[in-house]
Structure 1
Amino acid sequence: MRFYTNSKIANIILFLTLLFSLYKLAPKDFSSKNEPVKRRFNVAQSNREATAKLDLVEKELSKSSDLAVLQQPNVEAIEELQWWQNMTFDPEIVTKHCHYNLDIRHWAPGKNLKACCPPNTSTLIRSGNWEGNLQSIVFNSLFPLVSPNAAFIDIGGLIGVYTLSAARLGRKVFTFEPFWTFEYIKSALIVNGLTDKVYLYKVALLDSTHCAILTTPDKGPEFGRMVVKEDRNCSNLHKQVKVAILDQLLPTFRREKIQQAVIKIDIEGSEAKAILGGSKLLQEIDIPFIQMEVDKTLKKLNENGTQEKKLVEKFLEMMKQLNYVASPMSKDWKTKRLNMEDVSHWPADVLWHKKSAF
């Protein structure tokens, strides 16, 4: 029999203590067959509880009316189209539909522009321009009141008459047009040598980046009356259009050091949604003037209990909070005010302007 001295016994005890400590620190394989059933049940239960809490948070967030503005924007739509000038263009449009002279002598004397017009655009061909009276107010009355470096945002470019004039006047322009007329704007920019002045986006602007589809009127001409409608289920893939929010311009404005802009918006009843999607832009960038077609938007206030009515009410409240007032889109806009508490008698086109704009 071997006998151990006290020192040897102490060393053995120390060694066993270290082994036990290492065992306690070692990671456990809870998937092992030797794992107690109770422990497996507790881990699974904890995972289920954590998942349930996350689901509850997401459900509550989805109820928030501000979620559309606060969610992470889908910048892919805009980034994909920023370099549109590298894309191919339709030579048939350029050769057959871009020979119309735009009448811009009232705000750009001595300058000339060619418009690219789809078939059946008789109003433009007959009068020499489109909404010439409104353009005159924008370019003769509003532009002199802003910085020479102020940009122009054209939401609902159609065939680009506002875009072309603003670019010819030396402004940096940001144009949004989700429909097939996008090709006519693109061709007109090429013909007039203005591709370096315009960011052209083939996207629709709404209050969030959910799916949307293109609809056309049941009766009457399609041109100029195309509408974007939400498609929450993303089910009509063949009619879908790309959607962005106005706030997605902020990275570009910051990079280009743009501090001021004028907005023109005419998108067949979706104006409130588009501006709501630009709440951050309106707070960070000086936007002293917004020309807006409002007749179709304000009609939604008669749709009691609908989400559309709530969005228009939210839009009007936001404009008040941002210190905007409204005037008729006319030459005497400086002296006339529209009643913000009763919009039922507003004209079809209004001018939103900051109280400190002049």
Structure 2
Amino acid sequence: MTTKHSLVILKYLFLIGILLSTIYLFRTDLFPFVLNHSKQISTTNTQNCIDLSVITNDSFQCVKTKLLLNKYRTTVCVHDAKKDTDVSGLIINHGIWEENLVTRIVRIFSTYRQLAFIDIGANIGIYTMYAASLGCPHVFAIECFRPNIERIRRAIQLEKVQKQVLLVPRALYNKSNVYLSLRTNIANNIGSQRLNVEVSKNEDDSLVVQTIRFDDLLPFINERNIQEAIIKIDIETSEHYLCVTGEKIFNQINIPFVIMEWANIKEIPEKANLIQEFFTIRSYIPFNSEICQPETEKDYRRWQNQDIFWIKKNYTYLCELS
């Protein structure tokens, strides 16, 4: 064999070695950012919650929100405003979304800091992030849509509130650990998805989600010795699952205040009746969410606001906070 042939062989062996080394490295954690979107979002701790230490590879915009009560602001990571005008567009342009409701939450937490917060249908996390940033000790963000989850995780990291927030990648449903498909609900609201039908497991599809019952959160509540919490729930006509699957939690801890989207579910009597009965027998009063006054109309179909407050009768003073 000539020297020339030997050099050629050595050259090829060298290139093969580099190729094999590169393949090995990319199969290990030395290059975590090559994980695709689906696998990275499925990175959870042993309790099936999102690992808040994992750095998201996706590139998206994060903005500072509006200063509320001249004191409190936070960070929210948004979608493309051209595709998500209803939520991200408003936050980018005005620094806030659902300002009246968010401000109500901020007023409560700024006065009663011992309260936990459970945000069901967190979307991109504006309620979650305000609550965490103003010092709420325990924030549970329940969100099933992966692009939203990634944005909430990034915002949590930017605000350095990892110790306060539990991010649960699940959809509230009447059964635990089944898989559901999502369907688009509002054209200009990317994060607004409705539950569709039960399907087979598919981890590579962001429109296939895993479910949780509300009472499944009880171990987390007990672990943190939570005694009181307020709830915000906005899950596109699935709000009744809070009542169907949450009796143990409502019996165990004090939940004086619930913000619930109402405009859509009130048109579905079997769901709306169930919700009204659940809260009425527990001594909650429905309050107009715009003026924080009791609803005077008996027929819930005539409640005109997008949202309703369910407030325990001994806690109506929460509407008087300034």
TM over 0.5: yes
Q: 1:101 maps to what in 2? A: 64
Give, in whole Å, the separation in 1 of the partners of 2:244 and 2:69: 31
TM-score (structure 1 length as normaliser): 0.67
Superposition pairs for residues 138-149 of structure 1, below 5 Å? Answer: 138-140=105-107, 142-143=108-109, 147-149=112-114
- How many residues are aligned here? 260
Q: 1:85 maps to what in 2? A: 52
Give, in whole Å, the separation in 2 of the partners of 1:316 and 1:78: 36
* Amino acid aligned to 2:217: L
- The alpha-carbon deviation at position 328 of structure 1 amounts to 0.8
Q: Do the aligned partners of 1:326 and 1:338 also contact (CA within 8 Å) in 2? A: no
- The alpha-carbon deviation at position 135 of structure 1 amounts to 0.8
Give, in whole Å, the separation in 2 of the partners of 1:253 and 1:108: 32
Bigger strand fraction: 2
Which of 115, 121, 124 is residue 156 of structure 1 equivalent to?
121
Distance 1:162 1:291, change over 3 A: same
Distance 1:286 1:175, change over 3 A: same
Share of identical aligned residues, percent?
Answer: 27
**1:118 and 2:118 correspond:** no
1:182 partner SS: helix
Q: Do the aligned partners of 1:205 and 1:274 also contact (CA within 8 Å) in 2? A: yes
2:276 partner SS: helix
Which of 128, 132, 136 is residue 99 of structure 2 equivalent to?
132
Root-mean-square deviation (Å):
2.2
- The alpha-carbon deviation at position 240 of structure 1 amounts to 2.5
Q: Do the aligned partners of 2:73 and 2:130 also contact (CA within 8 Å) in 1? A: no
Bigger helix fraction: 1
Distance 1:211 1:114, change over 3 A: closer
Q: 1:282 maps to what in 2? A: 250
**1:183 and 2:161 correspond:** no
**1:348 and 2:316 correspond:** no
2:250 partner SS: helix
Q: 1:30 maps to what in 2? A: none
Q: 2:26 maps to what in 1? A: none
- The alpha-carbon deviation at position 230 of structure 1 amounts to 3.8
- The alpha-carbon deviation at position 226 of structure 1 amounts to 1.2
Q: 1:13 maps to what in 2? A: none
1:84 partner SS: coil
Superposition pairs for residues 282-301 of structure 1, below 5 Å? Answer: 282-301=250-269
Distance 1:222 1:161, change over 3 A: closer
Distance 1:129 1:151, change over 3 A: same
TM-score (structure 2 length as normaliser): 0.74
- The alpha-carbon deviation at position 153 of structure 1 amounts to 0.6
Query: Any gaps of 5 or more consecutive residues in structure 1?
Result: 1-76, 302-308
Which of 189, 198, 205 is residue 172 of structure 2 equivalent to?
205
Give, in whole Å, the separation in 2 of the partners of 1:323 and 1:164: 30
Distance 1:324 1:207, change over 3 A: farther
Distance 1:108 1:183, change over 3 A: farther
Q: Do the aligned partners of 1:289 and 1:351 also contact (CA within 8 Å) in 2? A: yes
- The alpha-carbon deviation at position 243 of structure 1 amounts to 0.3
Q: 2:224 maps to what in 1? A: 256
Superposition pairs for residues 56-75 of structure 1, below 5 Å? Answer: none
Distance 1:184 1:144, change over 3 A: closer
